[in-house]
Amino acid sequence: MKKVATVVFFVLFCQVLFAEQIVKEFSFGDTKKQRAVIALKQALPYTEAKGYGFEFFTEKNVRIDRKSKHLFSDKPFYFSVKVPEGNYKITISYDGLSDKPYQSTVRSESRRLQIENQEVVPNKCVQKTFIVHLKDPKISSGGRVELKKPREQQKLDWDDKLTLEFQQTNCISAIRIEAMSNVTTVFLAGNSTVVNQEDEPWASWGQMIPRFFDAGVAIANHAESGLALSSFLSSRRLDKILSVAKKGDYLFIEFGHNDQKQKGEAAGAYKGYSERLHYFVNEFRAKGGIPVILTSTARRLFDQQGNLVHTLGDFPDAARKVAAELQVPLIDLNNKTSIFYEALGVEGSKKAFVHYPASTFPNQENALADNTHFNPYGAYEIAKMVLMGIKENKLVISGNMVDFNGFDPYHPDDFKTWYWPPSLINSVLKPDGN
């Protein structure tokens, strides 16, 4: 037994040591040769042989100035680097232009917001750091996550590369990618209201919340559209989380929309749903982690008098009861989102959902009218509600928040002044779980 324990410890030690040694830094133009620095003198597409490069034919949007040693673009572009699963600290080094300020937005993987409208003033340099969690379907104890075909198999979230999406204007001297083993990871378990939605104009709060944390916290979003607690379990997603979670990590659990549709004797808010919530909490606590329960986001449904209709039955109440019984922090998104929709009103609340006339997006022949799934503005506002819940529960990770001064769902951000540069990839297909 001693030998086995020693071998296991040695393997784990080597894995951690290997993770900490992964550093990939890219500079632009003619540079002095430095160890571990890759100088890019022209924008070339990604290839497996190199293990880095530009994607989706966006290399044409990039100009590398070998004399001034920077990359410049005022159009969207994607840059990918092949690295193994783990948490990575990304450092973007911006150079100011000589004549005017500019703003940059950066997203990672499947449209996770990391840097939002970062202003760079003339002749000044700015460095921004953030953490990206990279995952793969393999489970260390054996087997794999059962990904939904074909959608999940095509997602940037599940491939073997770390992809950065750059929006607005970018003048960059270096991009550094460094493996980190000592950051707190917040795992997200949920459905289409939580998942990293790959395509415009769909979005969820789970892909907006990374923007509000410093480099001490990683957001690992394992949510997927159409899932209930039961299907999250059967597709081995909780097994995957438990295989990589460590003491002090968090698990945020938000289900209800699809659990509500289940049939059979074990179905129901106070039966199978509550029992599975108990299981999620107990399993994650056994790993030394901190579970957090979130009530489901409300659907947008108003009656003829303009009153919000609550469609989730007993599920929000059941989640509250389980949280109280197990003494788990609770974030009441059902209540907060209900206030939010009522504050915006019957017509105004459409601005938070995927409601768009025909031809708003490429290849969109028909109008989109979805009262369950959010657009980027709605997802961003709900992410702020989650942040408020973190502060209200006095969770330790509230100390890692950045650029957040609180949020009042009675007085949300003005949709007219909120800006989201759309990604290049869009779809008219509704996510599962409508």
Task: Give tens-digit pLDDT for 279-296.
Answer: 999 999 999 999 999 999
What are the backbone dihedrals phi and psi of residue 276, each rounded to the nearest 5 degrees, phi first? -70, -35
Residue 35 has a pLDDT of 63
pLDDT beneath 50, residues of the chain:
1-19
Q: Estimate to the nearest angstrom the gap between the alpha carbon of 1 and the chain centroid.
A: 41
The pLDDT, as a whole number, for residue 308 is 97
pLDDT computed for residue 3 by the predictor: 47
First to last CA, the chain: 52
Residue at token pair 């092949």: 82
State the burial class of residue 347 (Cβ atoms within 10 Å of its Cβ: 0-12, 13-18, 19+): exposed
CA distances from 77 to 24, 70, 74, 97, 418 (A): 19, 15, 9, 19, 22
Burial class (CB in 10 A: 0-12, 13-18, 19+), 264: exposed
Helix (H) or strand (E) holding 87: strand 86-95
